[in-house]
């Protein structure tokens, strides 16, 4: 069990005990389940029942929090990715910063994708070849973005956060860590960092695409492939294997 999880359990259960002491101790409020006026008896029973529910559900939630229930192969959409990231965050400091960025990147991608679709619908009819070509490129880019997010989730779920925190949480053990083990840890962290940076590159290319599309009132189907943003997107699609 990670140190963060232990602290959360301690805080939750300590708070429950403290509230009950304040409520029922004669040194404080001195409430009772069987004596006093109707209001204090009602509040006492309510607090006891609430404490039991919070204790059971709270402890269960914290104990299960670090499980990433969706495997990458089960992730079919960016919404699935967001759900897994939100479930994984705060289970350890190692990837928290990147996870927050990944969640925000998914939101930004969705906004940019919707913006591009709106612009295309304003400038072209859905039946036009030009619209279909832009739409096809956008769909391929979204697939790459999804694959990249799934790869990040794979690495985070495979990383043994409890072992990592145990190893680096004890200063005395640091000199005994083998170089090979250090390299393995660093490869995981570097992969997630690099993949998060790749997401930023994809988002930047989408910004360029939005700018170029918005500048044209009419675009020939044959001219699409000559647009700098589309050339970059095509290159991205061809090199999609780099993001897996």
d(CA 236, CA 244): 13
Q: What pLDDT sits at residue 219?
A: 60
What is the distance between the alpha carbons of residues 54 and 66, in angstroms, rounded to a whole number?
19
What are the residue ranges in the chain where pLDDT is below 70?
1-5, 63-73, 90-92, 169-177, 217-225, 240-244
C-alpha 48/C-alpha 20 separation (Å) is 8
Q: Is 40 left (phi over 0), alpha (psi -120 to 50) or beta?
A: alpha
Task: Decide: 43 and 20 in contact? Cβ < 8 Å.
Answer: no
Longest CA pairwise span in the chain (Å): 86
Half-sphere exposure of 98 (CA within 13 A, CB side): 23
pLDDT of residue 29: 86
User: How buried is 244 (Cβ within 10 angstroms: 0-12 exposed, 13-18 middle, 19+ buried)?
Assistant: exposed
**How buried is residue 174: exposed, middle or buried, by Cβ count under 10 Å (0-12/13-18/19+)?**
exposed
pTM: 0.68
pLDDT at 243: 46
- pLDDT given for residue 195 in this prediction: 92
- Determine the pLDDT at residue 167: 73
Task: Give the tokens for residue 205.
Answer: 């290319």
Q: What residues contact residue 232 under an 8 Å CB cut-off, 6+ apart?
A: 205, 208
Over residues 193-204, the pLDDT tens digits come to 999 999 999 999
- Sign of CA pseudo-dihedral 197, 203, 204, 205: positive
Q: How far apart are CA 5 and CA 160, in angstroms?
A: 15
Q: In this structure, what token pair is assigned to residue 184?
A: 């393995």
**CB atoms inside a 10 Å sphere around CB 140:** 15
Confidence (pLDDT) at 115 = 94
The 3-state DSSP composition of the chain as helix, strand, coil percent (nearest 5) reads 80, 0, 20
């Amino acid at each position: 069990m990670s140190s963060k999880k232990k602290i959360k359990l301690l805080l939750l259960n300590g708070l429950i005990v403290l509230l009950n002491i304040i409520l029922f101790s004669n040194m404080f409020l001195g409430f009772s389940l069987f004596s006093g006026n109707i209001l204090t008896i009602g509040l006492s029973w309510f607090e006891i029942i609430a404490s039991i529910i919070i204790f059971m559900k709270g402890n269960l939630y914290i104990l299960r929090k670090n499980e990433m229930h969706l495997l990458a192969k089960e992730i079919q959409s960016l919404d699935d990715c967001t759900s897994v990231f939100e479930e994984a965050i705060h289970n350890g400091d190692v990837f928290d910063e990147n996870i927050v960025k990944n969640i925000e990147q998914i939101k930004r991608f969705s906004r940019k994708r919707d913006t591009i679709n709106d612009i295309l619908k304003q400038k072209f009819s859905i039946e036009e070849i030009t619209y279909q070509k832009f739409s096809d490129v956008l769909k391929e880019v979204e697939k790459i973005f999804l694959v990249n997010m799934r790869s990040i989730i794979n690495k985070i779920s495979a990383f043994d956060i409890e072992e990592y925190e145990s190893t680096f949480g004890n200063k005395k053990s640091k000199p005994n860590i083998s170089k090979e083990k250090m390299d393995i840890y660093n490869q995981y962290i570097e992969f997630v960092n690099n993949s998060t940076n790749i997401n930023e590159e994809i988002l930047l290319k989408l910004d360029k695409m939005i700018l170029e599309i918005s500048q044209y009132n009419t675009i020939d189907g044959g001219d699409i492939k000559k647009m700098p943003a589309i050339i970059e997107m095509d290159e991205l699609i061809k090199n999609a294997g780099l993001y897996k």
